[in-house]
Amino acid sequence: MSDSVWQDELDEIARRRTAALELGGPEKVERQHSRGKLDARQRIDRLVDDGSFREVGVLAAKRRPVEGGPDEVVPANFVTGTARLDGRKVVLGVDDFTVRGGASDGSVVEKLAYCEQMAHELQLPLVRLLDGTGGGGSIRSLEEMGRSYVPYLPGFEFTVQNLSTVPVVALGLGPVAGFGAARLVMSHHSVMVRGLSQTFVAGPPVVAGIGEDVTKEELGGVDVHGPNGTVDAVVDSEDEAFASARRFLSYLPSSVHEVAERGPVTDDPARADDWLADAIPRNPRQVYRVRPIIESLVDTGSFFELGASYGRSVVTGLARLDGWPVAVMAGDPYVYGGSWTETSAAKAIRLIDLADTFHLPVVNLVDNPGFMIGTAGERAGSIRHGMRALTAIYQASVPWCSVLLRKVYGVGGAGQSHHRRLQRRFAWPSAEWGSLPSTGGIEAAYRAEIEASDDPAEFVRAKREEVAALMSPFRTAEAFDIQDIVDPRESRALLCEFAADAAKLRRPGATGHGLRP
């Protein structure tokens, strides 16, 4: 091939592309590897389908004067472009820690903003791989600028809009501070890697200024941000983080302007596991494991739990029913008896917002004795947080099916569904409901009669028998206040039928609001 009249410029393009592929240079890349971390380009290769990454802005760089020689051109420490994940096109935004520790004074802010805008306007899912020490740069950057500036967040208008339009996944793969931490939580699914990633508003050197001497792990490691709900998942390796991103996206459409596709149909919708008939103990004080029930009802192996480390009295996740993607919420009696706390209410809101944004039907497996009671619940404001969750349920527009497993009590229990919508709802024989459980409720309602009785204990015992008869679920069914009481083994078939019916009702388009971080 003969040389072009533009050969010098073409050679310069090639040289700069090669330099960009080397990130911060061999020494900095090796330092990254010595910390047990992949570098930015290795992460892209491990995450996406082979050969599918098409980079945008490879020539973006920071120019630095060098005394006595030509300016140094350092590649920007943010890599972006499009790629395919399991065949689906996505936008990637990848921090490069090998240049200025991933801080934005080593970046070109327009490039980050372009990445967010690209996902929004092309209506493509966005995956952020985060590994950076801050958003605004260091004090050194002020010397380079010759001034300070009023803080702003590059591309944040698109970051906000993306939560309402496209699936956003954020993987914390190293220390993530400031704006990086904000980008981590501004997502539909966020992940941290144990031993590699920490998240904080400001790191230990800055926190030392307020008198706290802490390590990165103590300040913002996974044992801090898993239980407090800052992130949705904690994994043990970068490869697990990549797998979590791919699996999460597999349940969702590429944007709100589509509906999620039906997945592979690999499980018999009529499958009935016999052990479900005895899954709920007859003794109402005896707990049971709800996750095996979820696994039995949904397609085998399809349940993908979200937020397992926080708000643990509620279990949330995504699953498939006869191939159709659905959101799943369930009470866990092993934690506070299934009572909703402020964190479990927030977790429920997060799932409901996700489902409503991306048109996923909701299956609610109900065992909820109400909002958390007692001094701890009152101090935490459980009633306010709980009512926010109920409001989210009433604002949701997606098809909804409730299965009443056991306790459904009080204001919290009223959140099992929107009672004015068509009720796709059925109960197991173990279900019980009312304004209050009879234990404690009788003592409150008949205080004067108990005090006046010659035998208070016998009065309470007889009253409990009377109330138990009135609380029989069959009396409720007679009044059609519950649509059906079923053999638990029939539940999967009923839920698969619900999912098939719901699939026809899904409508593409934006909802009133997207997920709120």
Tally of domains in the chain:
3
| 210 shares a domain with 325 | no
Residues 190/195/196/198 CA torsion (nearest 10 deg) = 60
pLDDT cut 90: percent of the chain above it: 62
In whole angstroms, what separates CA 440 from the centre of its chain? 36
| Domain end point (choices 250, 282, 316) | 250
Q: Are 80 and 55 in contact (CB under 8 A)?
A: yes
pLDDT digits (tens, 9 = 90+) for 222-243: 999 999 999 999 999 999 999 9
Residue 263 forms part of a structural domain: no
Between 345 and 456, residue with greater pLDDT: 345
Report CA-CA distances (Å) from 486 to 274, 290, 474. Answer: 14, 18, 11
| 399 shares a domain with 311 | yes
Q: Of 310, 307, 361, nearest to 335 (Cα)?
A: 310
Residue 267 forms part of a structural domain: no
- Which amino acid, 501? D
Distance from C-alpha of 192 to C-alpha of 185, rounded to nearest angstrom: 11
Query: What's the average model confidence in pLDDT over 338-344?
Result: 92
pLDDT digits (tens, 9 = 90+) for 239-266: 999 999 999 999 999 999 999 999 999 9
Residue 297 forms part of a structural domain: yes
Backbone angles phi, psi at 108, to 5 degrees: -120, 105
Strand blocks (E) in 139-243:
168-177, 189-193, 198-200, 233-235
| 452 shares a domain with 427 | no
pLDDT digits (tens, 9 = 90+) for 442-501: 777 778 888 888 888 888 777 777 766 677 888 888 888 888 999 999 999 999 999 999
Residue 513 forms part of a structural domain: no
| 60 shares a domain with 20 | yes
Residue 417 forms part of a structural domain: yes
Distance from C-alpha of 403 to C-alpha of 401, rounded to nearest angstrom: 7
Q: Which of 37-41, 347-351, 383-387, 476-480 has the lowest mean pLDDT?
A: 476-480
| 23 shares a domain with 110 | yes
| 390 shares a domain with 337 | yes
| 465 shares a domain with 408 | no
For residue 460, what are the domain limits? 436-472
Query: What's the average model confidence in pLDDT over 24-29?
Result: 87
Angle between helices 290-297 and 491-505 (to 10 degrees): 60
Count of CA atoms in the C-beta half-sphere (13 A) of 405: 29
| 103 shares a domain with 49 | yes
Tokens 């009433």, residue located:
394
Residue 226 forms part of a structural domain: yes
pLDDT digits (tens, 9 = 90+) for 93-119: 999 888 877 676 556 788 899 999 999
pLDDT digits (tens, 9 = 90+) for 288-309: 999 999 999 999 999 999 999 9
| 380 shares a domain with 243 | no
**The token pair that represents 432 in the structure block:** 């019980």
Q: Are 245 and 189 in contact (CB under 8 A)?
A: yes
pLDDT of residue 72: 76
| 159 shares a domain with 292 | no
Q: Of 492, 251, 224, 500, nearest to 351 (Cα)?
A: 251
The pTM assigned to this predicted structure is 0.90
- The enclosing domain of 195 has a CATH number of 3.90.226.10
| 304 shares a domain with 244 | no
**The token pair that represents 140 in the structure block:** 């050194």
Tokens 């304004």, residue located:
435
- Beta-carbon contacts of 454 under 8 Å, excluding residues fewer than 6 positions away, are none
The 10 Å Cβ neighbour count of residue 323 is 19
| 463 shares a domain with 420 | no
